[in-house]
Amino acid sequence: QTVVIQESSFSVSPGGTVTLTCGLNSGSVSSGYYPSWYQQTPGQAPRPLIYGTNTRSSGVPDRFSGSILGNKAALTISGAQAEDESDYYCVMYMGSGILMFGGGTRLTVL
């Protein structure tokens, strides 16, 4: 049973840089998994940030970037701002029409 793994929590100082990762319990993440990222604040629907590894969604500031780092997908926030404090979810395409979300990372900006 494949599991998508994210850090449960992370913190960053205002203006700092943080990299959140998204891996698999077995195997490496590649662009063929089309990793995508969503931001969610309490009481709101998820907001798309990054899709297909590194393409920013419409209206997303360029301080958000996506990549493959080693054997994981990564979301980097450069110059973090207070409004970036949110939950972040990655999702990957597992083949045969199936997608799988990671457990989410709660990012604190302090």
Contacts with another protein, residue ranges (CB under 8 A): 34, 36, 38, 40, 45-46, 48, 51-52, 57-58, 87, 89, 91-93, 96-104
**Residue nearer to another protein on the CB measure, 79 or 99:** 99
Least distance to another protein from the beta carbon of 87, Å? 8
Left, alpha or beta for 70 (phi > 0: left; psi -120 to 50: alpha)?
left
Residue 94 beta carbon to another protein: minimum distance, rounded to whole angstroms: 9
- The nearer residue to another protein, 9 or 13, going by C-beta atoms, is 9
